[in-house]
Chains A and B, each alone.
Chain A
């Protein structure tokens, strides 16, 4: 079974600075998808960024980018120019490319605090 590990329960960063959240995963599959989800306090979870494992190029979405290291099974999220609205729980998630296995496997989450 696949597992996802986020080793940083909490992180904090000064507004406008850059922060990197770590995620490692374990799988025997070669094709899969990785995601970072954001869950603001008392609000619903939203997708921040996704990465297809077959793509070597790291995904970017505005201030958000990932460092995908397939061999090391590492998938970190970098947030540049941090803003107060970035404060939230961040979850790393894995999904198999197998059409019969649609579930997301989540890590434990990292709580990100932005200091003004």
Chain B
């Protein structure tokens, strides 16, 4: 396992369309995180899973956003009715259950909403 992978790497869509991103964490990691990073800013937390349970959601995660991790392995992040303000890099990270669990980040999915 070479690390966290995300697909697609780039997505261009028109306003109002739905998009779905996938994240495959490091295989032995039971924690998975989604962050959003806009240009020139630090990542902002969106949501966090421990196994298949979604334990925390940010207020940034409006009702147009939904995330799943059905079998405690890969995760999907869906954005419905995309808006231009959704344009950003969407980062996934994973970690194992240890006292100081380092979060390993994927390369991100860059979303552009036209």
Contact = CB atoms under 8 A, between A and B. Distances in A.
Interface of A: 4, 6, 33, 37, 43-47, 50, 52, 91, 93, 100-109
Given A6-B42, A44-B3, A44-B4, 10 more contacts: A44-B105, A100-B55, A102-B50, A102-B55, A103-B45, A103-B58, A104-B35, A106-B44, A108-B41, A108-B42
A66 to B, nearest CB: 15
Contacts of A103: 33, 45, 48, 56, 58
Contact of B41 (A44, A47, A93, A109): A109
A4 B43 CA distance: 12
B108 interface: yes
Interface stretch (B13-21, B67-75, B76-84, B95-103): B95-103
Contact of B43 (A47, A91, A101): A91
* Interface band, chain B: 20 to 34
Contacts of A101: 56
Contact of B56 (A45, A91, A102, A108): A102
Interface of B: 3-4, 31, 33, 35, 40-45, 48, 50, 55-56, 58, 91, 95, 100-108
Q: Chain A CB within 10 Å — which of B42, B58, B105, B107 has the most?
A: B42
A84 B42 CA distance: 22
B56 A43 contact: no
Contacts of B35: 104
